[in-house]
Chain A
Amino acid sequence: MIDLFADLVLLTDSTIRTATPLVLAGLAGLCAERAGVVDIGLEGKMLAAAFAAASAAAVTGSAWVGLGAGLVTSLLFAVLHGYVSISQRGNQVVSGMAINILVAGLAPTLAGAWFHLGGQTPLLGDEARFAALDWPFADAVADVPVLGALYSEIISGHNAITYMTVAVVPLVAWMLYKTRFGLRLRAVGENPEAVDTAGISVTRLRYQAVMIGGLLCGLAGTVLSTGLGAGFIRDMSAGKGYLALAAMIFGRWKPVPTLLACLLFGFVDALQGRLQGESLPLIGEIPVQFTMMLPYVLTVLILAGFAGRMVAPKASGIPYEKDH
């Protein structure tokens, strides 16, 4: 029983860390898609932000400068995506994919040219990263049964960006559902003609939504290279952008369900690490390949039926043209 509880605490702790970039990227995709712009470039923007944050942090020695660089870089790519898909009415999937491919090649090439470490950035010291923050008395209460473990393992000991993420989720939900801007943002993704008729600029609203997404993606990338990791490594986003996209769809384009979907993916990922090499009763030891499949099998199952019908914002993916 104690073992099971300890394992659960560990898994939860790991889930929170693993889910942080997913939640941020998922919300980024959500903001863009609720405004009618499909954003498949989450992966690329995250990777670009991870690279920029790690480079800036390595050069200046400050994690906060890294965060700034990550946000600005991701924002620039978001504006580029906006320019192609909103102003030029290009295909949104193609534009997003182009960003993914561009960054996957560009980031290691620049890293190689600047730092001469074979496509990596230097390892960051503690002052240049968002290290784990220990809350007051975390060590003192660690031995208190149940509550002590909950406090010291799960609540305390995460990095600053993870705590920011906890605040970002209600903030995005509030923005979408309780503000005039959010109402318009949702409207522009369902029925841009109506918004336009009301005299509100569709282009402007969509740019704003894509840029909010860019900032969230920047935060997701920064946490990868300066919070969870300690430097940029080629392809370090490892498909998290696509997983976030799946979580957003599973969460039906709503902030809280998206958060839960990301936590579920994070949990399965943590569980698969825990199950490796364990023997289960009756089954015996599970091969590594099988446990590694779990998150993907889950994704397919969820998207293929268990989650029911998913209705995307009506105007999602369709460029708005004023004169039909």
Chain B
Amino acid sequence: MKNFFGRAVIGFAASAVIAFAAAAADFTPVVLYDVGGKFDKSFNEAAHVGAEAFKKETGGEYRDFEPTNETQYEQALKRFARRNADLVIAVGVGYSVAVRKVAEEFPNVKFTIIDGNVDLPNVQSITFKENEGSFLVGMIAAMKTETGQIGFIGGMDIPLIRRFEEGYRQGANYVRSDLSFIENYVGTTASAWNDPIKAAELAKSQYARGVDIIFAAAGPSGLGVIQAAKDKDRLTIGVDSNQNHVAPGHVLTSMLKRVDLAVQAAMTDAKNGTWKAGHRVMGLAEGGVDYAVDENNAALITAEMKTRLDEARAKIVSGEIVVDDAEGANSAH
């Protein structure tokens, strides 16, 4: 009997050691999406694409979690931190408060937050210069418009979305100064991200008033703008992920935010031991933002337009053009 216990104990200990060794060998980062869910055709999907790219390139595994509401953020962060996850990536500025709290509680766990800025020794904050990408799509809109009127539709009226608008306006004015702008916001609460009907109504109103191109930075509500562009046979500009395929011929281009690159880089760095805490800003120079050209919109973007865009891009990267920003865009709200 005693012998059996002895063996059992040794057996347990051995399996524990093996398990520990296995855990140390298999680097497994975790991705936490925000409430949009990982297949939102936009922001979260880009994070998912990045994680998949990491998996493909390194053969490593990752785990992910889709919360159904914002109250689960902190709970999920804690759960993975308690299990000593190798790296916890929180996708979305909505996580800021929860990441700050949990990162203080678990100083030995590495956290990466996308779109938010949390200043702690174990947190890496990655934000984007959306204004620089918006500058380029603003130029495209200004070069393409026939009526001299372009529009902007934002989702929730927060500084982060004002940043898109700033860059867009400045880019358009860089090309020509005689443009008139119409801008609308869907709402001032979080429900503004999920109101495509209101967004479509705003878009129809803008189109009827002479606007022929609308840049929509409105999350899922933006799908309403694309629908309106299709119904009214006008143009729109997508956001975050490449949305050119949603209505080919009606999406002039998309302002890409390379969340996929950010997620992949954070995972790879952590695996190689080169992950660093601190604030990392991804603009045009770092390849963090861009505009999308694919088979769906190739006919809409001419070579001449591309040349001008490349010139402007070089000037922004070199610092000759400084794109204005909206204040407080990456703070928690």
Contact = CB atoms under 8 A, between A and B. Distances in A.
Contacts of B37: 112, 117-119
B224 interface: yes
Contact of A231 (B66, B202, B208, B223): B223
A233 B223 contact: yes
Interface string B14-40: 000000000000000000000011111
Interface string A5-21: 00000100110011000
A131 B231 contact: yes
A224 interface: yes
Contact of B188 (A116, A274, A292): A292
Interface stretch (A37-45, A176-184, A196-204, A234-242): A234-242
A277 B191 contact: no
A233 B41 CA distance: 13
A118 B194 contact: no
Contacts of A234: 194, 220
Contacts of B227: 123, 229-230
Residue from B40, B68, B220, B221 with most neighbouring chain A CB atoms (10 Å): B220
B240 to A, nearest CB: 13
Interface residues of A, number: 37
Interface stretch (B179-187, B264-272, B274-282, B318-326): B179-187
A273 interface: yes
Nearest to B38: A118
A10 B210 CA distance: 12
Interface string B201-217: 11011001100000000
Contacts of A132: 231
Nearest to B37: A118
A288 B185 contact: yes
A117 B39 contact: yes
A270 B205 contact: yes
A274 B206 CA distance: 9
B175 interface: no
User: What's the interface size class on B, roughly?
Assistant: 35 or more
Contacts, number: 92
B157 A289 contact: yes
Contacts of B195: 236, 238
A228 interface: yes
A113 to B, nearest CB: 11
B191 A289 contact: no
A276 interface: yes
A241 to B, nearest CB: 13
Nearest to B152: A277
B246 interface: yes
Top 4 closest A-B pairs, CB basis? A118-B37, A118-B40, A230-B227, A118-B39
22 contacts: A10-B208, A17-B201, A105-B68, A117-B37, A117-B39, A118-B39, A118-B66, A120-B220, A123-B246, A131-B231, A230-B223, A235-B191, A236-B194, A236-B195, A238-B198, A239-B191, A269-B201, A273-B198, A277-B182, A288-B188, A289-B157, A289-B188
Given A233-B196, A270-B201, 12 more contacts: A13-B208, A18-B201, A118-B36, A118-B37, A118-B45, A118-B66, A119-B37, A231-B196, A233-B220, A233-B221, A236-B195, A276-B183
